């Protein structure tokens, strides 16, 4: 009985896997932007992927959609969607896969709308590119979707310039929903918007996710947003996932010094105010990443005093290990404490 | 702290055709003080910074600086002198740096133009400035081109260039919004150090209340061209008077909130309130507290608590119009 009551609360993660990255590696010429990443998005969950600019988070999204720009190419690993490996699929298969199963909303996607085309026609275009549907029905669906994202359905007759940035971004999300995808990839969808609009959009995504049951891969550099809206969070640094856990756990019990640094970068809105330090230094050049743990040059816990540990930190790459159910960390320090 | 007010803004107003972008805005920027100006996109906050930088002429109102109104000075010499003492830095430092010139070029130019030091000491002074904004080693940084720098480093170069002319006032228009969160704090800390060490007055334009609380002494909240609340930042954020300040506060991502499961209410309309504004509260459509008077009288800025003022008939009623029907 007691054993049952003490079962982990993260039952969500036991939903079947929708998208699984296994050892995904992406190269841009001599720079390895993504290096052996394992990541799973389960059905109906919001997985947040966070890290600084250049850590490889957007590259992962582009790899999943297979829209990497040359010289970017997948040089290893697999991208498994519902049990099927997408790597090496034909362009035609990928075209059908995109939108039919997965939709992507880019950063500043609001600028992706065609400026000389009415909003409604852009829905019709997107739908007709992927399925046979007559225009009248498509417009009807467009109106329903606009209403869902909190925009007056009559706006199908508007041109993009007649809408605010936040409204345009919601139109894009509505178009992304129009083909009823199983997974939506949101790449910094609210970064260009102010906080009030950002919150409205996030609340809408959350509500739509509940109604439609799609999963979300949410990419941002703003961990505070993920702590509130994501189910699970993966933190990336220099092409690797360094920590992943349920959002609530990550917020209260982050183990990786990089995650801890990210969380300490936000000034609080209430309570005592302390001088914050952020994370000194900058992310490494991926053409020539540091040896050992890639975070070691910026790590506050990496000093030559402890000889054995320092040697490992600077020469040996840490691997992701589970420190608790559903909570994995790649750090020599954590490993050592656990041992 | 200091009794001297180097920059005083009185009734500043700027109309772009029918849009009242800035309407009757008054405040002071005091030496050694950071004043945060917050509001959403389109609230007019950037226009205020641009008016103070003399990039626009105001429709009415004045900017008093060292005793005179500088809002309409035309003589080139006067404009240059004002601009050397009141400097503007922008959101995206990449846009304001020449991609084919080195850091050295960017920082030494203002030193030469304004003849800040003898020519022989220019390079030494550049290194000093780079060091003061945390760009080390300075001789290495000085030789770099903008694309070789990170976003945070570029914003530091922008600050070094601004500091070259030893300004008394720095107008920082969203200086951290393009930067990664991990880098932002460094720029905010640098602003605080500069205000303390050099007694500079900062206007910090942002939509991020948490950053505002972290660096600022005073807070101005703008909505649809008007200041709707002002006061010491701690007091305003601990007990906001205006419903718009409350909305902004509720919108900030807050990890703790998840556990409380509170959610802000969906708003009804969008802000178009600054276009030909009639005599009423501009926040009316979005306000959960609105009463009858709000739809036909513009609320004045009323000091409802010591040093804390708001434009709201409900939370900061004016004794002068409270009882009028």
The C-alpha R_g of chain B, in whole angstroms, comes to 21
How many domains does chain B fold into? Answer: 2
Same domain, yes or no, for B89 and B108?
Answer: no
Same domain, yes or no, for B56 and B121?
Answer: no
Does residue B321 surpass a pLDDT of 80? no
Q: For tokens 């009639």, name the residue.
A: B278
Model confidence over A171-200: pLDDT tens digits? Answer: 888 888 888 899 999 988 777 677 777 888
Model confidence over B192-204: pLDDT tens digits? Answer: 999 999 999 999 9
Same domain, yes or no, for B82 and B177?
Answer: yes
* A193: chain B residues, CB-CB within 8 Å: 41
pLDDT-based confidence at A290, cuts 50/70/90? very high
pLDDT of residue B49: 94
pLDDT of residue B97: 85
Same domain, yes or no, for B249 and B107?
Answer: no
Does residue B36 surpass a pLDDT of 90? yes
Whether A228 sits inside 8 A of B258 (CB atoms) is yes
Q: For tokens 């009858």, name the residue.
A: B292
Q: Do residues A247 and A65 make contact, with C-beta atoms less than 8 angstroms apart?
A: no
Mutate to test the interface with A, among B39, B94, B182 (most CBs of A within 10 A): B182
pTM score above 0.95: no
The secondary structure of residue A283, as a DSSP letter, is: P
Q: 3-state DSSP call for residue B292? A: helix
Same domain, yes or no, for B197 and B259?
Answer: yes
Mutate to test the interface with B, among A262, A269, A281, A283 (most CBs of B within 10 A): A269
The answer for residues whose C-beta is within 8 angstroms of residue A25's C-beta and 6 or more apart is: A32, A34, A35, A36, A37, A74, A75, A76, A77
Model confidence over B282-316: pLDDT tens digits? Answer: 999 889 999 999 999 999 999 999 999 999 999 99
From the list B151, B185, B249, the residue facing A265 with the nearest CB is B185
Same domain, yes or no, for B43 and B118?
Answer: no
Same domain, yes or no, for B172 and B54?
Answer: yes
Distance CA A69, CA A63 (A): 10
Does residue A11 surpass a pLDDT of 60? no
B-chain residue closest to A167, CA distance: B270
Does residue B325 surpass a pLDDT of 60? no
Helix, strand, coil: what percent of chain A each, to 5? 40, 20, 35
B-chain residue closest to A247, CA distance: B255
pLDDT of residue B262: 43
* A287: chain B residues, CB-CB within 8 Å: none
Shortest distance between the Cα of B180 and any Cα of chain A, in A, equals: 6
* B185: chain A residues, CB-CB within 8 Å: 265, 267, 276-278
Distance CA A185, CA A165 (A): 19
* B150: chain A residues, CB-CB within 8 Å: 282
Whether B185 sits inside 8 A of A278 (CB atoms) is yes
* B210: chain A residues, CB-CB within 8 Å: 266-269
pLDDT of residue A4: 40
Domain boundaries A16-101+181-268, CATH class: alpha beta
Over residues A54-69, mean pLDDT: 90
pLDDT of residue A200: 80
With an 8 Å Cβ cutoff, the interface of chain B facing chain A consists of: 40-42, 150-153, 180-186, 188-189, 207-211, 213-214, 237-238, 247-255, 257-259, 263-264, 266-267, 270
Model confidence over B63-109: pLDDT tens digits? Answer: 999 878 988 888 888 888 898 899 998 877 667 788 899 999 999 99
From the list B184, B249, B259, the residue facing A269 with the nearest CB is B249
B-chain residue closest to A268, CA distance: B210
Distance CA A175, CA A126 (A): 7
> For the purposes of burial, counting CB atoms within 10 Å of the CB of A48, is it exposed (0-12), middle (13-18) or buried (19 or more)?
buried
Does residue B257 surpass a pLDDT of 70? no
Whether A197 sits inside 8 A of B253 (CB atoms) is no
Over residues A18-38, mean pLDDT: 94
Same domain, yes or no, for B165 and B129?
Answer: no
Whether A268 sits inside 8 A of B249 (CB atoms) is no
From the list B150, B182, B250, the residue facing A261 with the nearest CB is B182
Q: What is the CATH number of the domain that holds B91?
A: 3.40.50.300
pLDDT of residue A45: 94
pLDDT of residue A108: 67
Same domain, yes or no, for B50 and B188?
Answer: yes
Does residue A329 surpass a pLDDT of 90? yes
ipTM tops 0.90: no
Same domain, yes or no, for B218 and B118?
Answer: no
Does residue B209 surpass a pLDDT of 80? yes
pLDDT of residue A10: 44
Q: 3-state DSSP call for residue B294? A: helix
Domain final residue, candidates B239, B268, B297:
B268
**What residue ranges of chain A are covered by domains with CATH 3.40.50.300?**
16-101+181-268
* E-strand stretches of A29-124: 31-42, 46-50, 72-81, 84-85, 102-105
Does residue B48 surpass a pLDDT of 90? yes
- Residue B309 maps to a domain: no
């Amino acid at each position: 009985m007691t054993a049952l009551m003490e079962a982990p609360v993260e039952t969500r993660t036991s939903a079947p896997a929708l998208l699984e990255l296994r050892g995904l590696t992406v190269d841009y010429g001599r720079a390895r932007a993504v290096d052996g990443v394992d990541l799973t998005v389960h059905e109906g969950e919001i997985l947040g992927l966070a890290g600084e600019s250049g850590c490889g988070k957007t590259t992962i999204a582009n790899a999943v959609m297979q829209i990497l720009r040359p010289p970017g190419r997948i040089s290893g690993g697999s991208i498994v969607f519902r049990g099927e490996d997408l790597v090496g699929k034909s362009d035609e298969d990928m075209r059908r896969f995109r939108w039919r199963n997965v939709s992507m909303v880019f950063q500043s996607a609001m600028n992706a709308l065609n400026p000389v085309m009415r909003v409604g026609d852009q829905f019709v275009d997107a739908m007709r590119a992927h399925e046979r549907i007559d225009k009248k029905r498509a417009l009807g669906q467009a109106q329903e979707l606009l209403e869902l994202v909190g925009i007056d359905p009559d706006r199908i007759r508007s041109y993009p310039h007649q809408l605010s940035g936040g409204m345009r971004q919601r139109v894009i999300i509505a178009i992304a929903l129009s083909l009823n995808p199983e997974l939506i990839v949101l790449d910094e969808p609210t970064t260009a918007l102010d906080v009030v609009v950002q919150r409205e959009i996030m609340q809408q995504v959350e509500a739509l996710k509940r109604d439609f049951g799609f999963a979300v891969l949410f990419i941002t550099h703003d961990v505070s947003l993920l702590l509130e809206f994501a189910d699970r969070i993966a933190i990336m640094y220099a092409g690797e996932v360094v920590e992943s856990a349920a959002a609530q756990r990550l917020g209260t019990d982050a183990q990786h010094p990089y995650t801890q640094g990210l969380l300490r970068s936000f000034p609080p809105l209430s309570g005592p105010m302390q001088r914050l330090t952020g994370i000194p230094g900058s992310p490494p050049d991926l053409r020539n990443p540091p040896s050992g743990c890639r975070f070691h040059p910026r790590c506050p816990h990496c000093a030559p005093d402890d000889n054995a540990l320092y040697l490992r930190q600077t020469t040996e790459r840490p691997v992701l290990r589970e420190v608790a159910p559903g909570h994995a960390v790649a750090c020599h320090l954590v490993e050592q404490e656990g041992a | 702290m200091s009794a001297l007010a180097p920059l005083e803004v009185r009734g500043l107003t700027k109309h772009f055709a029918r849009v009242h972008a800035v309407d009757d805005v008054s405040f002071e920027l005091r030496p050694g003080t950071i004043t945060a100006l917050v509001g959403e996109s389109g609230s007019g906050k950037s226009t205020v910074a641009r008016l103070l930088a003399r990039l626009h002429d105001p429709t009415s109102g004045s900017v008093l600086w060292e005793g005179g109104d500088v809002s309409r000075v035309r003589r080139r010499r006067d404009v240059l002198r004002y601009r050397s003492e009141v400097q503007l830095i922008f959101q995206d430092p990449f846009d304001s740096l020449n991609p084919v010139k080195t850091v050295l070029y960017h920082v030494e130019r203002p030193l030469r133009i304004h003849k800040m030091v003898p020519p022989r000491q220019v390079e030494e002074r550049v290194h000093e400035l780079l060091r003061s904004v945390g760009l080390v080693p300075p001789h290495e940084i000085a030789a770099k081109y903008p694309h070789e720098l990170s976003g945070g480093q570029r914003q530091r170069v922008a600050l070094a260039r601004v500091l070259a002319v030893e300004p008394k006032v720095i107008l920082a228009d969203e200086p951290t919004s393009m930067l990664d969160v991990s880098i932002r704090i460094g720029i905010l800390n640098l602003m605080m150090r500069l205000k303390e060490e050099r007694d500079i007055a900062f206007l910090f334009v942002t939509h991020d209340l948490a950053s505002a609380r972290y660096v600022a002494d005073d807070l101005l909240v703008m909505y649809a061209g008007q200041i709707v609340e002002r006061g010491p930042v701690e007091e305003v954020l601990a007990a906001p008077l205006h419903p718009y300040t409350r909305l902004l506060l509720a919108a900030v991502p807050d990890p703790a909130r998840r556990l409380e499961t509170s959610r802000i209410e969906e708003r009804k309309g969008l802000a178009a309130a600054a276009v030909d504004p009639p005599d009423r509260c501009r926040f009316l459509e979005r306000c959960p507290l609105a009463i009858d008077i709000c739809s036909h009288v513009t609320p004045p800025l009323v000091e409802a608590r010591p040093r804390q003022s708001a434009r709201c008939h409900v939370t900061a009623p004016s004794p002068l119009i409270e009882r009028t029907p």
